[in-house]
Amino acid sequence: MKKMTQKYNLIKADSRGYADHGWLKSSHSFSFANYYDPARIHFGALRVLNDDYVAAGEGFGKHPHDNMEIVSIPLSGELKHGDSMGNETVIKYGEVQAMSAGTGIIHSEMNNRQDIAVEFLQIWIIPEKKNVTPRYDQKPIDKLSTTNRLGQIGSPNRGEDGIWINQQAWFHLGFFDKKSFVKYDLKRTGNGVYLFIIEGGAEVDGHRIERRDAITVTDTETLSISIDKNTKILVIEVPMTL
């Protein structure tokens, strides 16, 4: 069997696109809105990773989407969601939300609080199947499975831990309050990994990454992660061919 040669790409936090609209401050890991970088269109099926700050009482009014898997992970505050399927919900820190836009949906995302900002990650995944019936999912993040370990918060398999995603993609999240060493074994041959440091710092196969940095890894079956104290890590595994 031919041995894989891992390929790594470090994305520093300050190299991301940035937009400041006053009420909205957003860092873009991939080309989005007025930010365009031909080298950062997508990473396999991962199309968008926006690091958003929305001021108190503000937000995104009603707007359409189709044929995209949209995942939101609050980092602080509360995000109010409404959509044309009739869902009216509030997503808080410690929860994860997914929306299959499919054949088309209109939704809004507002800061549910009038006194504090909401910060959240919004992630778009290119779907495995197009024109599916739109669908909404919201789940609590299991604290035990994500404390000092990488716990699954999303997968393509109905009934597994976390949200269901219309793609051969897996999401894992870890909240580490002590130095740790963990391995991440890829679920599917040919997939790649986008590892994002929410807080803290870590080494991935010897590559050092800090707060809001990311590293992409392809042509691998496993990652070795050495984690510093008080670190939050998001691991997104996606197909590299569409």
Per-residue pLDDT of the chain (242 residues; tens, 9 = 90+): 345 789 999 999 999 999 999 999 999 999 999 999 999 999 999 999 999 999 999 999 999 999 999 999 999 999 999 999 999 999 999 999 999 999 999 999 999 999 999 999 999 999 999 999 999 999 999 999 999 999 999 999 988 899 999 999 999 999 999 999 999 999 999 999 999 999 999 999 999 999 999 999 999 999 999 998 899 999 999 999 98
Instruction: Tell me how many degrees the CA angle 205-144-204 measures, rounded to the nearest 5.
Output: 5
**For residue 162, what are the domain limits?**
7-11+14-239
In a domain? residue 1: no
In a domain? residue 2: no
In a domain? residue 50: yes
Structural domains in the chain (count): 1
pLDDT of 2 reads: 45
Tell me, what amino acid is at 137?
D
In a domain? residue 191: yes
Query: Can you give the chain as a three-state secondary structure string?
Result: CCCCCCEEEEECHHHCEEEECCCEEEEECCCECCECCCCCCCECCEEEEEEEEECCCCEEEEEEECCCEEEEEEEECEEEEEECCCCEEEEECCEEEEEECCCCEEEEEEECCCCCCEEEEEEEECCCCCCCCCEEEEEECCCCCCECCCEEEEECCCCCCCEECCCCCEEEEEEECCCEEEEEECCCCCEEEEEEEEECEEEECCEEEECCCEEEEECCCEEEEEECCCEEEEEEEEECCC
pLDDT of 159 reads: 84
User: What's the whole-model pTM score?
Assistant: 0.96
Return the structure tokens found at 140. 């609590």
Quote the CA–CA distance of 59 and 69 in Å, as a whole number. 20
In a domain? residue 92: yes
In a domain? residue 46: yes
The 10s digit of each residue's pLDDT in 65-79 is 999 999 999 999 999
CB 150 within 8 A of CB 180: no
Whichever domain contains 162, its CATH number is 2.60.120.10
pLDDT of 3 reads: 53
